[in-house]
Amino acid sequence: MIVLGCVLLVFLRGCALRPASRYLGSHFNHGKNGMWLGVEWVNEPHADAEFVGLANDLARRQIRYVFVYTSHLRTDTGAFNNSYAHAAEFLHSFKKAQPSLKVLAWLGLPMPSLGGIVNLADAAIRQQIVTLSTYLVKTVGFDGIQLDPETVADGDQGLVKLLDESRSAIGSGKLLSLAAEKIQPLFPDQSIGGPFVGWSNTYYRQIAGHLDQIAVMTYAP
């Protein structure tokens, strides 16, 4: 019973009774906020005024980074979904209206842990991702790429390889962003391993060293 009580206390401390503040949201606002947009902005035709209106509205709301859902690697075909036919016209109008906003192509990478096919240990899979990323940045005109692999186990070195290969391909002048796991709430300095439990501090630091930006997925998978 003593052991069970101790485990319960540790769980409550790590997951339910974590320190919090009473600061308003404005306290944390540095005017460099991010916004995720649906695939319809690059997959469907829109009037130029719609693109311009969206860009101006986001700028007024102090959005600096715009992540546009562009494609995902399909399990049924083994290829990326061709869902960005209107990306170039979107970018042209959007960036003309608000050139200071950074627009990144958000790529969904479903991992085997969620029934997907993205095995980051597979060099061919990584090359597919890098090839599309390069095309979207160098040909279509995105300011960078946000990779969204769900979910990656703590310590997975395939992700490190993907980030290095992506950086080499898109160049240092483009943004490389990652939608990343949470830090595990219990014993963050220890690697528990496996998906869905979060990453250790050590792995987080390693991953951060290969990126320009991390967006933490704080929701439950």
Q: Please state, in angstroms and rounded to a whole number, the distance separating the CA atoms of residues 146 and 87.
A: 15
Q: pLDDT tens digit string along 72-122?
A: 999 999 999 999 999 999 999 999 999 999 999 999 999 988 888 999 999
Q: What's the mean per-residue pLDDT of the chain? A: 88
Q: What is the pTM of this model?
A: 0.86
CA distance 159 to 61: 33
Residue 220: which pLDDT band, with cuts at 50, 70 and 90? Answer: low
Residue 117 near residue 72 (C-beta atoms within 8 A): no
What is the sign of the dihedral through the CA atoms of 98, 99, 100 and 102? positive
State the pLDDT at residue 56: 98
Neighbours of 120 (CB within 10 A): 22
Q: Which pLDDT band, with edges at 50, 70 and 90, does 181 fall under? A: confident
What is the mean pLDDT of the segment spanning 18-44? 86
Q: How many residues does the chain have?
A: 221
Return the minimum-mean-pLDDT range out of 53-57, 164-168, 185-189: 185-189
Q: Scan for tokens 């906020």, then name that residue.
A: 33
